[in-house]
Amino acid sequence: MNVFNSSQLFVIISCLLLSLGFGVIWLSYSQSKLKHKYNDLLEQVSSISTDMSGLCLAAVQVDARLAENTNQLNEVAERIDNYAGDDIVSSAYQSVIDKVQEGFSEQDIIKECGLSREEAALLIKLHG
């Protein structure tokens, strides 16, 4: 009781082998495409890695420059604070200016503060 005769069996086996052959060819082609994409991605990752290394190096250099600038700004701020404390001339004249604003006369300022007539007159004109 043979269901298929030999020619039908040959056709079926040939079709199976042919479809298996096409399957192998299709798989080989797909593998080739995947390999190509994989190599492209490796190149991109390598390029990105190089870019990241450059960016990290630049960030370190910027950080060093910022630290240096911060130190310089701190030094300048300290100098400014020191100048504000060393303003002896303005503090010496401030007491005279206060007396002028209180209504002291030119003669009183000359006697009490030891200023010349011209200095006393100028301070009275400016602050009186």
Measured between alpha carbons, how far is 98 from 127 in angstroms, rounded to an integer?
Answer: 9
Quick check: pTM over 0.75? no
Contact 109, 96 (CB under 8 A): yes
DSSP assignment string, 10-70? HHHHHHHHHHHHHHHHHHHHHHHHHHHHHHHHHHHHHHHHHHHHHHHHHHHHHHHHHHHHH
Measured between alpha carbons, how far is 33 from 36 in angstroms, rounded to an integer?
Answer: 5
The reported pLDDT for the residue numbered 99 is 86
- Higher pLDDT: 86 or 38? It is 38
Question: Which distant-in-sequence residues (6+ apart) come within 8 Å of 97 by Cβ?
Answer: 123, 127
Contact 96, 90 (CB under 8 A): no
pLDDT tens, residue by residue, 56-110: 999 999 999 999 999 999 999 888 877 765 555 566 678 888 888 888 888 888 8
pLDDT tens, residue by residue, 10-23: 999 999 999 999 99
Measured between alpha carbons, how far is 52 from 49 in angstroms, rounded to an integer?
Answer: 5
Give the Cα-Cα-Cα angle 17, 19, 20 (nearest 5 degrees): 60
